[in-house]
Homo-oligomer: A and B are copies of this chain.
Amino acid sequence: MSETILVGEADDARLSDFRRLNDQAARRKLEGDEFFLSEGWVSIGRLLDSGHVFRSVLLSPSRVNRFRPFMERPELAGVPVYVAERDVMGDIVGFDLPRAVLVSAVRKPLWSVDQLAAASNRLIVLEALNDDENVGAIARAARAFDIDGMVLSPTCTDPYHRRTVRVSMGEILHMRVARATSDGWPGALDTLHSHEFETWAMTPDPKAEELWCAEVPDRLAIMLGAEGPGLTRTVLDIACRRVRIPISGAVDSLNVGHAAAIAFAAVSRPRQ
């Protein structure tokens, strides 16, 4: 069983994983492909079940008792658990962190698009999604409807961003993720087609097929773009089908997470 280590100085070198949480550029540089952070109890529970290797833990004294049962888990053997007063923790992370429980864990290698396509029947493809919370929410919904994996375009946000992990309720940690490189986009869609995936470009275009009428193929990749711009013309042109969720003419669009959840639910519904 691991022991807690009291730290009193915010500049303690052992805490470098947890610095400047709100500085996205600094975090990307710090984390690289090495590690990510998970915060709050739900995500940490899901992290434990996900097979990721823990690096270290930082929590405030008031969280120690609730964390103690986790410390008996084999996944935490030898993992340093740092305890810092709330104000010291604030100085480390850069603001007052309400949850006051942070775990740093080793990133796993991402899947290649080819590997992921070979191992899956249902995929979600996200193009240029730059909102961490939308990606997290989509991962949670994707897991709920048995989507096997997620393909990200090169400019999508980091799927292991702290907020993404939290909003996904830790489900992103159980999701197979591939990220296309910039010279592999939109070629990744050809890879999906070569694995007999039918690609659906979700679009509000009134000329697109209605979601409820589209026949669901054995291998399906549902593609969504960022709120506002949506999918690029290039992806719309490559897609096997363009599919829309019929909505009221009075409303501009659906939230991209809602659109994803509705599409996942629709294709997984029982068909007579």
Residues of A within 8 A of B (CB): 137, 140-141, 143-146, 169, 171, 174, 210, 212-213, 245-248, 250-255, 257-258, 261-262, 265-266, 268-270, 272
Contacts and interface: CB of A to CB of B under 8 A. Distances in A.
A198 to B, nearest CB: 21
B266 A146 contact: no
A257 B270 CA distance: 22
B255 A141 contact: yes
A145 B211 CA distance: 14
A41 to B, nearest CB: 12
A144 B144 CA distance: 23
Given A146-B248, A257-B258, 12 more contacts: A137-B255, A141-B255, A144-B248, A144-B251, A174-B250, A246-B268, A254-B261, A255-B257, A258-B261, A261-B262, A265-B265, A266-B269
A136 to B, nearest CB: 10
B140 A250 contact: no
Given A174-B250, A270-B212, A140 B255 contact: yes
A145 B248 contact: yes
Contacts of A140: 251, 254-255, 258
A266 B266 CA distance: 8
Nearest to A136: B255
Contact of A261 (B144, B146, B261): B261
A141 B265 contact: no
A250 B212 contact: no
A145 B247 contact: yes
Which of A146, A245, A265, A266 counts the most B-chain CB atoms under 10 A from its CB? A265
Contact of A212 (B141, B143, B253, B269): B269
Given A145-B247, A212-B269, A169 B252 contact: yes
A160 B251 CA distance: 18
